[in-house]
Amino acid sequence: MTVLIYPLRVHIEDTDYAGIVYHANYLNYMERARSEWLDELGLGIEWQKNEGAHFAIRSASIDYLKPALVHQWLEVMSCIKKIRSASLIFEQHLRLRSVPDTIICKAEVKVACIDSQFRPRVLPDKVTELLFPYCGELL
């Protein structure tokens, strides 16, 4: 299994008055990682518009384990837990870059494939082919 690792730095704008990352920003970090990943694979916004296959979040479950702090370097680790006919389940972890065994939070994000009318549609073959090598579980 191949895991995508997306590096990022916590900025002051991401935190509360105590320098702790605001809880919703963890999901933003994970969204950024998934978006960059799809762009790198040629499945970004332009491809989605042309194909009429868009990716919408169906649900997200997140466990906050430790706080992330201002100016820390983090990594979002991502893989595909499951590929279904019209959806993907991503497993993502946020960890400290300097201490990779320190997991900050874990999430499972279900992404539905929808058409331009917001109806479910089957994943295009290209999506399945490109993402299959990333199937597995992080831990």
Chain segment 21-42, per-residue pLDDT in tens: 999 999 999 999 999 999 999 9
Q: What is the reported pLDDT for 139?
A: 58
- Sequence spans of domains, the chain: 4-134
7/138: higher pLDDT: 7
pTM of the model: 0.92
Average pLDDT of span 66-94: 96
What is the greatest pairwise CA distance in the chain? 47
The CATH T-level fold of domain 4-134 is Thiol Ester Dehydrase; Chain A (3.10.129)
**73-83, strands of its sheet edge to edge:** 4-9, 73-83, 87-96, 103-114, 54-64
Q: What is the reported pLDDT for 66?
A: 97
Average pLDDT of span 74-100: 96
Nearest in space to 92 (alpha carbons), one of 125, 121, 57:
57
Q: How far apart are CA 33 and CA 125, in angstroms?
A: 22
What amino acid positions are annotated as catalytic residues? Answer: 16
Q: What is the mean pLDDT of the chain?
A: 95
